[in-house]
Amino acid sequence: MNKTLLITGGAGFIGSHVVRLFVNKYPEYHIVNLDALTYAGNLENLKDIENAPNYTFIKADITDAEAMNSLFQQYKFDGVIHLAAESHVDRSITDPNAFINTNVMGTANLLNAARELWKGNYDSKLFYHVSTDEVYGSLGDTGFFLETTPYDPQSPYSASKAASDHIVRAYGNTYGLPFVITNCSNNYGQNQFPEKLIPLFINNIRNNKPLPVYGDGKYTRDWLYVVDHARAIDTVYHNGKQGETYNIGGFNEWQNIELIKLLCEQMDKKLGRAEGESAKLITYVKDRPGHDRRYAIDATKIKNELGWEPSVTFEEGLSITIDWYLANEEWLNHVTSGEYQKYYQKQYS
Ligand code: NAD
Ligand code: TYD
């Protein structure tokens, strides 16, 4: 194996797709997946590759600076793809400190450990920081987020991600640390924890539970299939220009309520329910505080410069996603037992 690559947060939703892609596509790389296994981390996501000869899992917490230093010294990582984060906006509203600790301090710990290991010898080294379009704030009815759009984060989650992006850039500017950053739109797909809109609503439809639509339901998000995000990360890791930022998105905007109606239609068909049955579960509830109205990514740069574009339409990706959740009841039942019930009560009662 000619390279050792650290992927943080690899037991989570997006991270598990990135780990799978790299383990399978690059047998010449040793892939080290470092994850604290918080409520969102789940090794069941990686059952198919857990015994691969080029794969190692390490349970560790990125907020532990000493542990990060010693792991970097032990494994001599050539590159880092950093996805570990607290990732859910609603949780950031009730517990912002967890987001500041992991997303800001944890990222700084990884940067320090990389600097200490690489000691200015940056030949074929790379720190790849995975970020979100939410750092740009909220759009009105028109326009798109460009890589040059000024940061204007509105939630504790997006503010902590924005802070971590700034720190990564500062290490590049100040110490010459080689980095790339990508800012991606909302992901959906297999293995997403059912606290985010799409898997939460699939699970509730399956169980005939109310679908809690925040506010007027006319908030807009730009949705990308997770496997396409993992493909984009592969492209940027190997072909992206150091020090650059790339926006990733599918030019696929949906008002929440329109997306929910499509989801209900597809679920009716797949569950053999009468047309309109699942939509009866739609329930308007109190809005999220500080709710960003609209996100929309302009992904022209990554398409023109690196040739990446999404491989599936939203209708196809959504259908694959629903089929996966319906076929993986055991996975859903595991992750929705225990702590999830308490969270659900607190968030939606
Ligand atoms: P996720 O919540 O599903 O997974 C996060 C993973 O990080 C989990 O496995 C968790 O155990 C791990 N983790 C959390 N705190 C940790 C810590 N202190 N130390 C080590 N590991 C820790 O998140 P996701 O949706 O897969 O997002 C992954 C990354 O992509 C995040 O950085 C997020 O900001 C970014 N992102 C997400 C989306 C999206 O729509 N989900 C969109 C754009 C960018
Ligand atoms: P979410 O999946 O939490 O992603 P983000 O807030 O990071 O974009 O939410 C997507 C959209 O769906 C957002 O506008 C909030 C809305 N939403 C609901 O209406 N009800 C819900 O129960 C959840 C979780 C989200």
Instruction: Please compute the mean of the pLDDT values over residues 148-158 and round it to a whole number.
Output: 98
List the residue whose alpha carbon is closest to atom 30 of ligand 1: 83
Residues designated catalytic: 133-134, 157
Q: What percent of the chain has pLDDT over 90?
A: 99
Instruction: Please compute the mean of the pLDDT values over residues 283-297 and round it to a whole number.
Output: 98
- Would the CB of 197 count as within 6 Å of ligand 1? no
pLDDT of residue 349: 84
pLDDT of residue 42: 96
Burial (CB < 10 A; 0-12, 13-18, 19+), residue 182, is: buried
- Would the CB of 63 count as within 6 Å of ligand 1? yes
pLDDT of residue 76: 98
* pLDDT band, very low/low/confident/very high, at 99 (cuts 50, 70, 90): very high
pLDDT of residue 338: 84
List the residue whose alpha carbon is closest to atom 1 of ligand 1: 12
* Atom of ligand 1 at shortest range from CA of 133: 43
**Ligand 1 center–CA 279 separation, angstroms:** 30
**Ligand 2 center–CA 87 separation, angstroms:** 12
Instruction: Please compute the mean of the pLDDT values over residues 188-206 and round it to a whole number.
Output: 98
Superfamily of domain 3-187+225-248 in CATH is NAD(P)-binding Rossmann-like Domain (3.40.50.720)
pLDDT, tens only, 164-186: 999 999 999 999 999 999 999 99
Parallel, antiparallel or unpaired: strands 211-214 and 282-285: parallel
- Would the CB of 168 count as within 6 Å of ligand 1? no
pLDDT, tens only, 212-245: 999 999 999 999 999 999 999 999 999 999 999 9
* Atom of ligand 1 at shortest range from CA of 16: 26
pLDDT, tens only, 25-77: 999 999 999 999 999 999 999 999 999 999 999 999 999 999 999 999 999 99
pTM: 0.98
Ligand nearest the Cα of residue 82 is: 1
**Ligand 1 center–CA 272 separation, angstroms:** 34
Per-residue DSSP letters for 80-135? EEE------HHHHHH-HHHHIIIIIIIHHHHHHHHHHHHTT--TT-EEEEEEEGGG
pLDDT of residue 299: 98
pLDDT of residue 213: 98
Strands (E), 114-210: 126-132, 179-184, 186-188
List the residue whose alpha carbon is closest to atom 10 of ligand 2: 197
Find out whether 161 and 134 touch, Cβ atoms under 8 Å: yes
Determine the Cα–Cα distance for residues 203 and 194; give it in Å rounded to an integer.
7
pLDDT, tens only, 255-278: 999 999 999 999 999 999 999 999
List the residue whose alpha carbon is closest to atom 4 of ligand 2: 196
Q: Could you tell me which residues come within 8 angstroms of residue 189 by beta carbon, excluding any fewer than 6 positions away? A: 13, 17, 225, 226, 227, 317, 320, 321, 324
- Would the CB of 83 count as within 6 Å of ligand 1? yes
- Annotated domain spans of the chain: 3-187+225-248
- Would the CB of 16 count as within 6 Å of ligand 1? no
Q: Which residue, among 179, 183, 175, 172, has the nearest Cα to 148 in the 3D structure?
A: 183
**Ligand 2 center–CA 338 separation, angstroms:** 22
- Would the CB of 12 count as within 6 Å of ligand 1? yes
**Ligand 1 center–CA 204 separation, angstroms:** 23
* pLDDT band, very low/low/confident/very high, at 1 (cuts 50, 70, 90): confident
